[in-house]
Amino acid sequence: MKNLLVLFFVLPAAAGIAQDYDCLCVNDDCGDILSDFSIAGDQSEVCDGFEFFVVNNTVAPDIDQYIWYWGDGSFQVETSPVNVSHIYNIPDSLVCDDDKTTYQICLVIVRECGASEHSCHYTAKGVNVIHRPKAILDTDPQVCVNDPLTLTNASCNAETYTWDFGNGETATGPEPVYSYDTPGTYTVTLTVTNECGEDSTTKQIEVVGFPEAAFDLSLDPANGCEPVTATFEDLSNQWSNTCWSILPNDTTLWCFTDTLMNLCTDDISVLFKEPGLYDVTLTASNICGEVEESTTIEVLELPSLDLALPGVTCDEATICASDLIVASAGAISAYNWSCTGCDSSTGSGQSYCATFTQSGTMTLVAESPCGDLTETFDITIASTDPIVFGNNPTDICASAEPFFLEVSPPGGVCTGIGTAACAVSGNCEIDVSCLTPGNSYTVLYSAGSFDCPNEASFEFFVLEAEEVLIDDMILCEDSPSTALTVNQTGGVWSGQGITDTLNGLFDPTSVPPGEYEVTYQFTDANQCEVMGAGIVTVEAFPVIDLVDELDLCLSDVTIDLPAAALFSTNPLGGNSTWSGPGIVGPNGGFN
């Protein structure tokens, strides 16, 4: 149930008296009476917002009430024939609708002679209320120096117009023509008057000079090498509205260094990411016009060289720059060559040549304003020394780790012959994991270049190695130590959780829940070291989560209790069984 609030309003007593007698009241129960009044000074017009006086000319005796109705919704009650005054206030929303408003002033006099008997008489006269003037001005907020102002005068009820332009100069008239010869901020004041007063309004105007575009530029690095950060400081004059343009207009080539910057930010910093020519223009504009200042930034490409390095040569080689330099790019001013281990050199720049009868090096320094680029590379002169294999095993277990073939002279290339190709890398590393045990394989070693090869072969046999198979196992975190199972014997266990390396005991209580890799290593009949790996999973106790209480309606309906109780387990999976009063079946039906 809601409470009802009732408010009672009591009207003032004077209001009740006025409501008993309207302006057209005429009655003679208590004898004839006659009302009369005049506006002081015999005026027929008064001013909006100014007090005027009304003379009560009534001479009838024994009058109990003099009720004045002013025509604007207000009234006043007097008990004697006193003179009265009133002020008409035209609302701002109506002051410009007309130049005057006519109101009817009504005087009602009342003589009472009994509980319900009275005489009354009224006199009504019109009065014109002259509207006060209102100053209304609109103008452009900004104007160019020496350009005439755009003055939109929408004032009303005005007879005179006086303008003050905020710089000591004035004018009269509805819309004078005026211009400022000095930039600055000025307050324009319009004052309008009529016989009932005056009103003023102001507008602030910014007078701007002609725009000037200017900026200062600094580059980092100063040499202009990619990538270049260019900082532009806007030095345009105070009346300029400035924006930048950067061509090409491709932001994959350049970007602002601050995400808050844009093309109309005064001072900008731009990262030019790629070499090339960029045209940057600052445009300064305002109501007076538009000017531009431009510059071109050249971002230099870093020097780069594409060299065709010589291979191994036999006994003697003459290497020339024209043979080595396939392509070059960037700002390169000179090529300077030098050599070590060379017998002689001739020429310079791209006509340089060096002769070698032994291995050495060549160095190229490409000079650039972006920093010199230095390339040093080996010159290999192959000899015809005999090939000698070192202490390499001839019987290799299938489970053996990769190893490098010992051979001299060094620097040659190994190749697997036939099916041995998968096991031999060019730097003479041998990995037999891809080969079939019980077979012999051949490695060919080539020393020197293709122009002067020296070759020898090495043969080895791959011994068969037994396989280690470990059964993966799942244990609870509180399970006792458990022996792991493997298909071999006599080996050694290792890994986290292993407490007996010989018997392979795994203690799940010694490690947190998780997966653990265990390894088993043993030596087979061929004396091959063999290793296998398995996974032991230690599972944590399951955690059950469900609501503490559940309110159900008493009805013959079987509900899904796991769903209603928000039942869940961690980890997921496993089996759950429900029991207790109301349980229908082990899966959690409840009735």
- pLDDT digits over 132-187, tens only? 999 999 999 999 999 999 999 999 999 999 999 999 999 999 999 999 999 999 99
pLDDT band at 203 (very low <50, low <70, confident <90, very high): very high
pLDDT band at 448 (very low <50, low <70, confident <90, very high): low
Domain boundaries of the chain, sorted by first residue: 13-130, 137-208, 215-299, 304-382, 388-463, 473-539, 542-591
Pick the CATH number of 215-299 from 1.10.287.610, 3.40.50.11390, 2.60.40.10, 3.40.50.720: 2.60.40.10
The highest-level CATH class for domain 304-382 is: mainly beta
Q: Are residues 480 and 458 in contact, defined by beta-carbon separation less than 8 angstroms?
A: no
Other Cβ atoms closer than 10 A to 230: 22
Residues 6+ apart with CB under 8 A from 573: none
In 3D space, the residue among 585, 461, 446, 470 whose CA is nearest the CA of residue 531 turns out to be: 470
Strands (E) in 131-267, as ranges, are 137-139, 142-144, 151-153, 160-164, 170-172, 184-194, 197-208, 215-220, 228-234, 241-247, 254-256
Q: Is a pLDDT exceeding 70 seen at residue 449?
A: no
Other Cβ atoms closer than 10 A to 305: 18
- Please give the CATH superfamily to which domain 137-208 belongs: Immunoglobulins (2.60.40.10)
pTM of the model: 0.49
User: What does the DSSP assignment read for 255-297?
Assistant: EESSTT--TT-SSEEEEE-S-EEEEEEEEEEETTEEEEEEEEE
> What is the 8-class DSSP label of residue 563?
H
Pairing relationship of beta strands 559-560 and 543-545 according to DSSP bridges? unpaired
Tokens of 481: 């130590």
User: CA distances (Å), 132 to each of 86, 103, 586, in order?
Assistant: 16, 16, 94
What is the average per-residue pLDDT within 197-204? 96
CATH code assigned to 13-130: 2.60.40.10
Strands (E) in 11-99, as ranges, are 27-28, 37-39, 45-47, 51-56, 65-69, 75-78, 84-87
Other Cβ atoms closer than 10 A to 90: 22
Q: Give the whole-angstrom CA distance, residue 108 versus residue 26.
A: 9
CATH code assigned to 473-539: 2.60.40.10
In 3D space, the residue among 91, 41, 39 whose CA is nearest the CA of residue 70 turns out to be: 39
Domains 215-299 and 304-382 share a fold: yes
Instruction: Report pLDDT for 259.
Output: 94
Say if residue 572 is exposed, middle or buried (CB neighbours under 10 Å; 0-12, 13-18, 19+). exposed
Q: Are residues 484 and 519 in contact, defined by beta-carbon separation less than 8 angstroms?
A: no
pLDDT band at 455 (very low <50, low <70, confident <90, very high): confident
Residue 89 one-letter amino acid: N
